Amino acid sequence: MVKHIVFAVSSMAVVFQLGLFVYNFETAEWRGYQSTYYKKLAEVTNTPEIAKTSLKVQQVWDKDLDRPDRCTTCHGGVANPAFEGEPQPYTTHPHFKDQAFISKHPFEKFGCTICHEGSPHAVTVKATHGVVKHLDRQLLTGPYVQASCTKCHYELLNRDVYWPEAEVLMKGKQLAYELGCGACHAIRQFGTSPTVAPELSNAGSKTELSFSLVHDFSNLESEDHLMRVWEWEHFKQPRKIVPGHPDAPNPKDRTSPTIMPNWDLTDDEATALTVFVMSLRDPAVENIPPSYFPKVKEHEGFLQYR
């Protein structure tokens, strides 16, 4: 009996020690970034006291979406134009200066993950960047962030609309119209409804898990088994990614390679089309609170998707 108690107590102590170790390790990382940020801020503003600001996890608590965004724990300078020349994670957010478009989405209201996806809770570099296993919404960086604009700006998928702020998405949309994706795929946003190929209308709101259950990643070149990587490689070489099983031993199991055409797309075109596919959002899944929508007067036809 005594032995058991001793054993139980000592195993609890080990678990506690381990927990403390992990906790310290994770805390040290963001504390390092944050204290460097305050040192830089103290210099920029010529106010030495700022360097001694006590460190804590920063977050934008989004009441409507009921989630915290903790990115600013490390990305302290995103809303400070004076940090333009600083390295990541301190630098000013792109398109922030001179009241550019990002300033129309105040971070204290919008947070970060509404555009960038990723983990709203995590406070380590590893758990927020790159490929994060088991995360259903991976961090969007570079041009891929433009796949989020349509969560609110539905009119962007209207053929006549061109926004330079979402250049890659605009290119993808244009290609999608020109190459006639709607001839095979149902795309609600384009008003097409054929049934020869899977519907794409809500493709951008799928989770990594639901996608991975019905897609074969074994023919990918990349080791990053993500939805957007599958789509990108599928645009480059549809029949390499979906070769079917024309030689299956049992005739009943034989399937043909995909009929999706290979257009010899450039890397940039494949990226643009991937951004376009990921921008096809399901409003019911995104569930953006009405107070986050911009006021749109034109493009009536597109308001029905709200």
- Under rule CB under 6 A, which residues in 205-224 are in contact with ligand HEC? none
Residues 234-293 that bind ligand HEC (CB under 6 A): 238, 242, 258-261, 273, 277, 288, 292
Binding flag, residue 204, ligand HEC (CB under 6 A): no
Binding mask 48-77 toward ligand HEC (x if CB under 6 A, else -) reads ----------------------xxxxxx--
Binding flag, residue 126, ligand HEC (CB under 6 A): no
Q: Where do runs of H (alpha helix) occur along 99-138? A: 107-110, 113-116, 125-128
Residues 127-156 that bind ligand HEC (CB under 6 A): 128-129, 139, 141-142, 145-146, 148-149, 151-153
> How many positions of this chain bind ligand HEC (CB under 6 A)?
71
Using CB under 6 A, pick the residue from 41, 157, 166, 226 that binds ligand HEC. Answer: 166
Q: Which of 107, 34, 104, 39 is nearest to 75 (CA)?
A: 34
Q: Which is nearer to ligand HEC, 9 or 214 (CB)?
A: 214
- Give me the sign of the Cα torsion angle 53, 73, 97, 94: positive
Binding part of the chain for ligand HEC, among 5-13, 16-24, 47-55, 161-169 by CB under 6 A, reads: 161-169
Residues 100-119 that bind ligand HEC (CB under 6 A): 101-102, 104-105, 107, 110-116, 118-119
Q: Which is nearer to ligand HEC, 3 or 63 (CB)?
A: 63
Q: Which is nearer to ligand HEC, 70 or 171 (CB)?
A: 70
Residue in the structure block whose two tokens are 């302290």? 76
Q: Which of 235, 166, 164 is nearest to 200 (CA)?
A: 235
Give min distance, CB of 59 to ligand HEC, in A.
10
Q: Which is nearer to ligand HEC, 1 or 166 (CB)?
A: 166
Binding flag, residue 88, ligand HEC (CB under 6 A): yes
Measure the CA–CA gap between 124 and 71, rounded to whole angstroms.
9
Q: Which is nearer to ligand HEC, 53 or 258 (CB)?
A: 258
Residue in the structure block whose two tokens are 């105040």? 106
3 state SS of 60: strand
Give min distance, CB of 300 to ligand HEC, in A.
16
Give the CB-side neighbour count of residue 133, counting CA atoms within 13 A. Answer: 1
Residues 169-188 that bind ligand HEC (CB under 6 A): 176, 179-181, 183-185
Measure the CA–CA gap between 301 and 207, rounded to whole angstroms.
28
Using CB under 6 A, pick the residue from 77, 83, 93, 271 that binds ligand HEC. Answer: 93
Backbone angles phi, psi at 57, to 5 degrees: -65, 125
